[in-house]
Amino acid sequence: MKKTMRIIAILACMILALVGSAYAQGDVSPDFSHHPPHVCEYLTKHYPYALSTYIEFGIPISLTLAVGAYESAYGKSYAAKEKCNFFGLVKGQMPFNNMSQCYRFWGYLLSTERYQKIHRLPHTNWRMWCHSLAYLGYNPRDTYGDSLIEVIEYLELYKLDLKHEEYE
């Protein structure tokens, strides 16, 4: 089963690589094939939800993907697999029926009064979004903001925010 999933992830990444030029025109998802297969699979599957969360709630795509990847171990955590909870919400105890529901709740949560100050930042200032999310108490770890920044830089997710400036 693991081998089959890995092959599917690799094939999906290869297909995305073939249509990479269409992404430049805004027609398809970005090419994540240069990442390890499990990362490529996660980003390919979650990118459309992160984009819709950005469009609806104004949360940077890079931040949404980084928090989801970090909190769910790229979709491999128990909460992600069994409860469709990719953001570590309520210590992983909050179950969702599907990914769309999880991402909409994430967007709604970051639109509540507790996180309103963060929305004053430009979406391309992803470093400040990371630090602000940590400062406002999303995760109690002292290094949470820095950890998110590392994920965004390593995966070059900031490029997705620049690509979608037209929605701002």
- Per-residue confidence band for 124, with pLDDT thresholds at 50, 70 and 90: confident
Predicted confidence (pLDDT) per residue in 36-59, tens digit: 999 999 999 999 999 999 999 999
Q: Examine the pLDDT at 78 and tell me if it is beyond 60.
A: yes
The model's pTM is 0.80
Place of tokens 């290094």: 143
Question: CA 117, CA 133: separation in Å to the nearest integer?
Answer: 10
- Per-residue confidence band for 165, with pLDDT thresholds at 50, 70 and 90: low
